[in-house]
């Protein structure tokens, strides 16, 4: 699924920013990894990361929330490092498997906030999802607990406290 410029403008008007986020999570004796666009609330540490800056945000049981931010290596050093890694992988006798999936399974015990965006979005909500607020035409804030299978861009996770969105008056 793609993100249109009109989507970026619409969500910016709501105080949200799209960010391309890589996540890694250990849950239910499994490591889950994903790279996908998410919407970030202004109260989340990743909201202010712009330009050449990169950031890592860690949420852990013992230490709580930790964020680190700094300049990225840049386009050419990053490409060079990836090519070097691929060469090292090809030189080893071990088998590696890379799977590119269009869906992502998330196993979370806590509730997470999402934007359901578009006419078909509500049809994709899992059982037990709660519609918190309609914030614009065909746009809802929802809370989801448990497993979620993301199949297209009509469900977008919100990072940060979504309370402001749940309390806002409907626009458009």
Pair type for strands 148-150 and 104-106: antiparallel
Cα separation of 92 and 109, whole Å?
38
Give the mean model confidence (pLDDT) for residues 12-32.
Answer: 86
* pTM flag (> 0.95): no
pLDDT for the residue 4: 87
Pair type for strands 64-71 and 53-60: antiparallel
pLDDT for the residue 112: 86
70 neighbors 56 (Cβ within 8 angstroms): no
Q: pLDDT tens-digit profile of 41-96? A: 999 999 999 988 889 999 888 888 999 998 888 878 888 887 887 787 777 655 54
pLDDT for the residue 102: 40
């Amino acid at each position: 699924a793609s993100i249109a410029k009109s989507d970026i403008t619409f969500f910016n008007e709501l105080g949200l920013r799209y960010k391309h986020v890589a996540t890694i999570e250990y849950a239910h004796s499994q490591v889950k990894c994903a790279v996908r666009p998410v919407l970030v609330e202004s109260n989340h540490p990743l909201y202010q990361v712009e330009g050449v800056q990169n950031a890592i945000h860690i949420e852990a049981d013992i230490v709580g929330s930790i964020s680190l931010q700094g300049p990225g290596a840049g386009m050419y050093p990053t490409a060079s490092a990836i090519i070097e890694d691929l060469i090292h992988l090809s030189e080893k006798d071990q088998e590696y498997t890379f799977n590119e999936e269009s869906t992502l399974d998330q196993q979370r015990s806590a509730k997470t906030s999402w934007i359901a965006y578009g006419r078909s979005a509500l049809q994709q909500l899992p059982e037990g999802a709660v519609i918190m607020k309609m914030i614009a035409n065909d746009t809802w804030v929802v809370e989801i607990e448990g497993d979620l299978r993301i199949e297209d861009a009509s469900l977008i996770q919100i990072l940060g406290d979504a309370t402001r969105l749940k309390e806002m008056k409907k626009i458009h």
